[in-house]
Structure 1
């Protein structure tokens, strides 16, 4: 049951990331880099933070490696390269989840924080955080887009679930 739930979240994550990046591709460079008063200042800064988060958590969960990288690190300066890296990063979760369908979700993940401090948390909470974190920042970006007068895609989970169900019925 947990496997199917997290696989659904991973597939939604890919879909929502793609829809947001498609919308962002249409905005001006000035607006893309404008300080919108987001926690990571701009859309560009927030997308970079999202990529940092993807890399932190994927390396911890899938590889057992804790990266030492600040949360505001600019990993990619070019927006097209950043969009491609985020797309790839979002796809890795579904690949990782489907690589072991008999995975045990009952344990804790032991890792080292970016500060070097040891930490542990339930694997289910960590996976939930991965997808919730991205949803949180996609929401910040859509609010910034709206404030600048741009249209925003509907990114709610239910829109993905309904579209998926309709696609399956049309097969």
Structure 2
């Protein structure tokens, strides 16, 4: 499973770079325009992904994030959001590269954003971490479909053929 999660961390960065490359072609108004989605704009959706990644990574590393709400939008500016995304993706890759298999096989105790204690096997929590990103990246991808910019292919199999570390 360790190799799988390392690959998923690299896939996550690859897919984010593809989405961000497409979003970079939008102007400020298009980036912030109200759209159909759980977080109702591309800007809010991409901010949510950075915020939740920081929250989960804080739990995983026992260095809790300062974020308190899932709908925080710390980045109004796309360039700043892109830099934050890149930094978080590098952090995720490094974390999974260093993560021992024994930790993947362990029980994970943490508190949710409401402060409620939770306990679960670590493996499904790690799967959720990547599934959550895929879920919201898909929403941003769908929002892009309603713009003048064509959304990129994000198929995992395409990444596997391109992944130099596979």
Give the number of equivalent residue pairs: 166
Residue number in structure 2 paired with 1:77: 76
Residue number in structure 2 paired with 1:134: 133
Deviation at 1:29, TM superposition (A): 1.3
Contact 1:38 1:140 in 2 (8 A): yes
Residue number in structure 2 paired with 1:47: 46
Residue number in structure 1 paired with 2:90: 91
Deviation at 1:109, TM superposition (A): 1.2
Is 1:120 aligned to 2:119, yes or no? Answer: yes
Contact 1:66 1:111 in 2 (8 A): no
Stretches of structure 1 lacking an aligned partner (at least 5 in a row): none
SS in 2 for 1:104: helix
Is 1:4 aligned to 2:8, yes or no? Answer: no
Deviation at 1:103, TM superposition (A): 4.0
Residue number in structure 1 paired with 2:55: 56
Contact 1:50 1:137 in 2 (8 A): yes
Contact 1:67 1:114 in 2 (8 A): no
Residue number in structure 2 paired with 1:161: 160
Q: Give the alignment's Cα RMSD to 1 decimal.
A: 1.8
SS in 1 for 2:103: coil
Contact 2:51 2:67 in 1 (8 A): no
Contact 2:56 2:129 in 1 (8 A): yes
Cα deviation, 1:19-46, whole Å, max 9, x if unaligned, reads: 1111111112111101102111100000
Contact 1:66 1:113 in 2 (8 A): no
SS in 2 for 1:111: strand
Contact 1:59 1:65 in 2 (8 A): yes
Contact 2:35 2:42 in 1 (8 A): yes
Contact 2:54 2:65 in 1 (8 A): no
Q: TM-score, normalised by structure 1?
A: 0.89
Q: TM-score, normalised by structure 2?
A: 0.92
Deviation at 1:15, TM superposition (A): 0.6
Residue number in structure 2 paired with 1:148: 147
